[in-house]
Amino acid sequence: MKTISDHILDILQNSVRAGATLIEIMVREEKSNDLYAVRIKDDGHGMTREKIQQATQPFFTTRTTRKVGLGLPLLKQNAEMSGGNLTIDSEPGKGTSVTAVFGYNHVDRPPMGDITGVLVLTIIGHDGIRFRYSHTTDEGEFEIDTDSLHEIFEDVPLRHPEVRGAINELIKTNLTAIGAST
């Protein structure tokens, strides 16, 4: 995976498969503290301590469609290569939280990539799941919540082309306004 948004998408897919009804994505950029942190938290079925320990091993997966799971191991590797770390907190029946910390200024920190595209496609593709996204930089903060979007657009589905375009523009404009890295 070449970008942080690729990693976020992978974890979001894991959260959806885990039966989550609420998924929170938090990105924090602090240039002055050399910190770039991403946290994805869900209320899915969670993992045991054994599965948490296995989750960052490249040949462990809970999927039956393939025998290799590389998402979390690659995220861990990318975080560590940039002077950061990966932590996973989970409890069966209560959900999972994955936090990746990167060195903001480190040459090996992957770029963010197309987070707008990841968010829009995830939001419109999973109507029954509530998503909250927050992104904080030294210049400001942006938050978006699908519950608020449903209130704004009332009976119009979020996947409607005009609504989808509006959500895309909303995210892109606000991330630019707070100086989010790309």
The answer to whether 44 and 95 have CB atoms below 8 angstroms apart is yes
How much is the mean pLDDT over the chain? 93
Question: Hey, what domains does the chain have and what are their CATH numbers?
Answer: 4-177 (3.30.565.10)
Considering the entire predicted model, what is its pTM?
0.91
Compute the average pLDDT of residues 106-130.
Answer: 96
pLDDT at residue 58 in the model: 72
User: Confidence class of residue 70 from pLDDT cuts 50, 70 and 90?
Assistant: low
Burial label for 64, CB within 10 Å (0-12, 13-18, 19+), is exposed
pLDDT at residue 60 is higher than 60: no
pLDDT tens for each residue of 75-91: 999 999 999 999 999 99
